């Protein structure tokens, strides 16, 4: 409870920190770096590059993506938190940043007090898939199969503490059907073992699921959001069988605390305009992400709500990392 109170106090101080640095009258007058805490090529990285390209045009200066992978995106977050709060360093992040405090005992920054939200970018759902050898074609049948043979079924994830891992744990809590967790070092090795049946179940992105389902290599069981995103396959949501279940990954942009309000507003306005592009929305949807601009104050409230929620899920699952 004391930790949650401290987080809430930290969030309340975000706007206060935003007054620490005076604004440049001609901001921006040089390139802006946008740090991403994963290696090039992933969905988050692709989204960052698409957004950065359009913000560059709108701001009249290059927004350059800089990949700083490591420790569940926390290395990139630490670099951003320590940067000068002048608007020339941004951090493009998402759900992994909200999970990190739950699985790392010590972080070199406070998730709330170290950053000021610039705006929300997108959300994406996960797809619960199963290997064809699993005797289930829908969620109720999968739950029954797992319960009938405890310990027989395993599910894979890209790693301990990833959204895919914790959403599966959340599902296990809702359904009472728990498969054995097998963590991998990334989505690539997981997919290889999933299509060969070495692990039978997983939560994966819709872009990864769709071609495998069409090829018959996997079965789509359900999706994690109750809402249907336009342009995505019409697979049934988990909430049809277990009301109230809603899990998704989000992406957003933050800046180091202390940024001048006028600069933060300039960046937020550019982000909002960039996300209004129909071309960008289509490009993002192709990566499995649904564009949805969220104002900074709403992002701040969402972060405050999500941190304790992910902490509770991680605690119940026992998720922890050696890098603590």
Confidence tier at 231 by pLDDT (50, 70, 90): low
| H or E element, residue 111 | none
β-partners of residue 249 are: 124
Share of the chain above pLDDT 90, in %: 67
Phi/psi of residue 234, nearest 5 degrees: -90, 60
**CB 186, CB 159: distance < 8 Å:** yes
> According to the model, what pLDDT value does residue 22 have?
62
More confident residue, 323 or 36: 36
Q: What is the DSSP string of 175-236?
A: HS--PEEEE-SSHHHHHHHHHHTSS-EEEEEHHHHHHHHHTTSSEEEEES-SSPPTTS--PP
Convert the pLDDT of each residue in 107-120 to its tens digit.
999 999 999 999 99
Confidence tier at 315 by pLDDT (50, 70, 90): confident
More confident residue, 20 or 10: 20
Residues of the chain within CATH 3.40.190.150 domain(s) are 2-124+249-317
Checking DSSP bridges between strand 154-157 and strand 201-205, what pairing results, if any? parallel
Task: Tell me if residue 283 falls in helix, strand or coil.
Answer: helix
What mean pLDDT do residues 119-123 have?
A: 96
CATH topology for the 126-240 domain = D-Maltodextrin-Binding Protein; domain 2 (3.40.190)
Confidence tier at 1 by pLDDT (50, 70, 90): very low
> According to the model, what pLDDT value does residue 23 have?
64
β-partners of residue 39 are: none
**Residue length, the chain?**
324
What mean pLDDT do residues 218-238 have?
A: 86
> According to the model, what pLDDT value does residue 42 have?
78
Among 13-27, 55-69, 268-282, the least confident range: 13-27
What mean pLDDT do residues 4-15 have?
A: 41
Confidence tier at 297 by pLDDT (50, 70, 90): very high
More confident residue, 139 or 186: 139
Q: Report the C-alpha gap between 265 and 271 in whole angstroms.
A: 10
Convert the pLDDT of each residue in 153-163 to its tens digit.
999 998 888 88
> According to the model, what pLDDT value does residue 159 have?
84
Residues of the chain within CATH 3.40.190.10 domain(s) are 126-240
Superfamily of domain 2-124+249-317: Bordetella uptake gene, domain 1 (3.40.190.150)
More confident residue, 286 or 14: 286
Q: Report the C-alpha gap between 143 and 106 in whole angstroms.
A: 36
Residues sharing a CB contact under 8 Å with residue 293, sequence separation 6 or more, in sequence order: 119, 120, 121, 271, 272, 275, 276
> According to the model, what pLDDT value does residue 8 have?
39
> According to the model, what pLDDT value does residue 228 have?
72
More confident residue, 15 or 106: 106
Instruction: Give, in order, the Cα–Cα distances in Å from 32 to each of 82, 176, 264, 272.
Output: 15, 48, 13, 17
| H or E element, residue 127 | strand 126-130
């Amino acid at each position: 409870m004391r930790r949650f109170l401290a987080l809430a106090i930290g969030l309340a101080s975000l706007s206060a920190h935003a007054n620490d640095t005076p604004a440049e009258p001609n901001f921006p007058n040089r390139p802006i770096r946008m740090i991403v805490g994963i290696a090039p090529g992933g969905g988050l990285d692709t989204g960052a590059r698409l957004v950065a390209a359009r913000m560059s045009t709108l701001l009249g200066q290059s927004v350059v993506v800089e990949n700083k992978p490591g420790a569940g995106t926390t290395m990139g977050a630490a670099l951003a938190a320590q940067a000068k709060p002048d608007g020339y360093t941004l951090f493009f992040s998402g759900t992994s940043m909200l999970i990190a405090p739950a699985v790392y005992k010590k972080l070199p920054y406070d998730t709330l007090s170290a950053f000021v939200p610039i705006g929300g970018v997108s959300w994406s759902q996960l797809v619960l898939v199963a290997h064809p050898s699993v005797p289930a074609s829908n969620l109720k049948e999968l739950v029954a199969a797992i319960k009938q043979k405890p310990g027989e079924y395993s599910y894979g994830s890209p790693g301990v503490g990833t959204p895919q891992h914790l959403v599966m744990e959340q599902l296990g809590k809702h359904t009472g059907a728990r498969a054995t967790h097998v963590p991998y070092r990334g989505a690539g090795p997981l997919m290889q073992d999933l299509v060969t049946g070495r692990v039978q179940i997983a939560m994966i992105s819709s872009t990864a699921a769709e071609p495998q389902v069409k090829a018959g290599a996997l079965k789509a069981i359900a999706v994690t959001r109750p809402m249907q995103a336009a342009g995505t396959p019409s697979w049934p949501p988990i909430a049809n069988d277990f009301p109230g279940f809603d899990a998704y990954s989000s992406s957003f942009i933050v800046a180091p605390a202390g940024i001048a309000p006028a600069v933060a507003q300039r960046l937020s306005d550019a982000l909002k305009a960039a996300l209004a592009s129909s071309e960008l929305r289509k490009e993002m949807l192709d990566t499995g992400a649904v564009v949805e601009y969220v104002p900074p104050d709403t992002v701040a409230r969402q972060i405050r709500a999500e941190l304790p929620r992910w902490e509770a899920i991680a605690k119940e699952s026992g998720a922890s990392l050696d890098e603590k």
